Amino acid sequence: MSIFTGSGVALVTPFNENNEVNYEKVRELIEYHISEGTDSIIICGTTGEASTLDDLEHRALIKFAVEVTDKRVPVVAGTGSNDTHHGVQLSKYAEEVGADALLCVTPYYNKTSQEGLYRHFKAVAEAVKIPIILYNVPSRTGMGFTVETVKRLREFDHIIGMKDASGDISYATELMRQIPDLDLYSGNDDIIVPMLSIGGKGVISVVANIMPKQTHNIVDLFNNGFTAEALTLQLSMNKLINTLFIDVNPVPVKTAMNILGFGVGALRLPLCEMKEADNDYLNSVLNEYQLKESSYE
- The residues, any chain, with a CB within 8 Å of residue 202's CB and separated by 6 or more, are 4, 5, 6, 7, 8, 39, 185, 186, 192, 196, 219
Average pLDDT over residues 165-193: 98
pLDDT tens digit sequence for 222-248: 999 999 999 999 999 999 999 999 999
CB atoms within 10 A of CB 20: 11
8 Å CB contact between 118 and 145: no
* Separation CA 144–CA 111 (nearest Å): 9
Q: How does the average pLDDT of the chain come out, rounded?
A: 96
8 Å CB contact between 135 and 106: yes
What count of residues does the chain have?
297
pLDDT tens digit sequence for 82-111: 999 999 999 999 999 999 999 999 999 988
**Residue 11 pLDDT > 90:** yes
Q: What positions carry a catalytic annotation?
A: 135, 163
Euclidean distance between the first and the last CA atom of the chain, given in angstroms as a whole number: 36
8 Å CB contact between 117 and 143: yes
pTM of the entire predicted model: 0.95
CB atoms within 10 A of CB 122: 16
Q: What band does 295 get if pLDDT is binned at 50, 70 and 90? A: low
* Separation CA 204–CA 32 (nearest Å): 17
Average pLDDT over residues 280-294: 87
Which domains does the chain show, CATH number per domain?
A: 6-225 (3.20.20.70)
* Separation CA 103–CA 105 (nearest Å): 7
8 Å CB contact between 216 and 38: yes
* Separation CA 250–CA 229 (nearest Å): 28
